[in-house]
Structure 1
Amino acid sequence: MKFTALLILTAILVLFLGPYFSYPYLMGIIVVLSYLMSSSGASSFFAAGLGMGLVWLGKAIFISIDTSSSLPDKMADLMGMEQSNLLWIATGVLGVLLGGFSGLTGALLRNLSKPKRSQGMYRY
């Protein structure tokens, strides 16, 4: 449940706030959102990563098809790629990594702020 909620909230925030804020601010928002959702580290990584990666992939495809610009082809040639479609995949992977590590950061900050349980007098 938390996975799906974090995935949807991340995708909505990135989709609607993306045109107004740069990606470091979006990453900070994802950290706060993941902190507040208090899910596990792996769940936060994959949910936030998929949310941001799918939105970035969709926007890259939409912009490339909508504008029918030759810029993606020129960028692919500049990077040594044969097809400009590989740029779409690279954009999606970059979104997954940025969103995933932001979600993981929020989950780990949540774990740091939890009070430690007393182990009693006899600890190993």
Structure 2
Amino acid sequence: MLFIIRLVSIAGLSFLLSLIMPWWCLILVAGIICFLLPAGSFNALLSGLLGGGLLWMVMAWKIDVETNSIMSSKIVELFPVDDVNMLIIATGVLGGVAGALGAFTGNSFRKIFIKKKEKSFYS
């Protein structure tokens, strides 16, 4: 359940902050969310990956639909990509990598401040 809360909060806050901040606000939001909400390393990485990737993919698809693929078709000519859909998927992958790195960094930064429980002879 905490995974879904992290994923939705990363995507939602990143979307709201992207209206007034640059693209890298996704990294900050993912780092802060994973710092505040405890998780394992892989769980934090996956929530940042899916939150950032899905957000950027949906935003790229929305822009593509609103502009009737005018901008996307011009960008496809610049890059060695054959289809507009591959460009949208590549955008999602880049957003996912940015979100995953931010989430993993925030989670690792949180683990610096947590005191590890010493193992007892009886436990």
Instruction: State if a TM-score over 0.5 links the two structures.
Output: yes
User: Is the 2:76–2:87 contact (alpha carbons within 8 Å) kept by the matching residues of 1?
Assistant: yes
Give 3-state SS (helix, strand or coil) of 1:115's partner: coil
Match of 1:84 in 2: 84
User: Is the 2:56–2:92 contact (alpha carbons within 8 Å) kept by the matching residues of 1?
Assistant: yes
Q: Structure 1 counterpart of 2:95, which letter?
A: G
Q: Structure 2 counterpart of 1:67, which letter?
A: T
Task: Provide the C-alpha distance between the structure 1 equivalents of 2:36 and 2:73, rounded to a whole number of angstroms.
Answer: 41
* Per-residue deviation, 1:116: 4.0
Task: Provide the C-alpha distance between the structure 2 equivalents of 1:112 and 1:17, rounded to a whole number of angstroms.
Answer: 27
Q: Structure 2 counterpart of 1:5, which letter?
A: I
Match of 2:32 in 1: 32
Match of 2:58 in 1: 58
How many residues are paired up? 120
Deviations 1:49-69 (A, max 9, x none): 111111110111111011114
Match of 1:110 in 2: 110
TM-score by length of 2: 0.88
Match of 2:5 in 1: 5
Q: Structure 1 counterpart of 2:103, which letter?
A: G
Identify the range of structure 1 (59-68 vs 20-29) with the bigger mean alpha-carbon deviation: 20-29
Match of 1:18 in 2: 18
* Per-residue deviation, 1:21: 1.1
Deviations 1:28-60 (A, max 9, x none): 122111100011111111112111111110111
* Per-residue deviation, 1:25: 2.8
Give 3-state SS (helix, strand or coil) of 1:22's partner: coil
Work out the percentage of aligned pairs sharing the same amino acid. Answer: 28
Gaps spanning 5+ residues in structure 2: where? none
Give 3-state SS (helix, strand or coil) of 1:23's partner: coil
Match of 2:96 in 1: 96
* Per-residue deviation, 1:17: 1.6
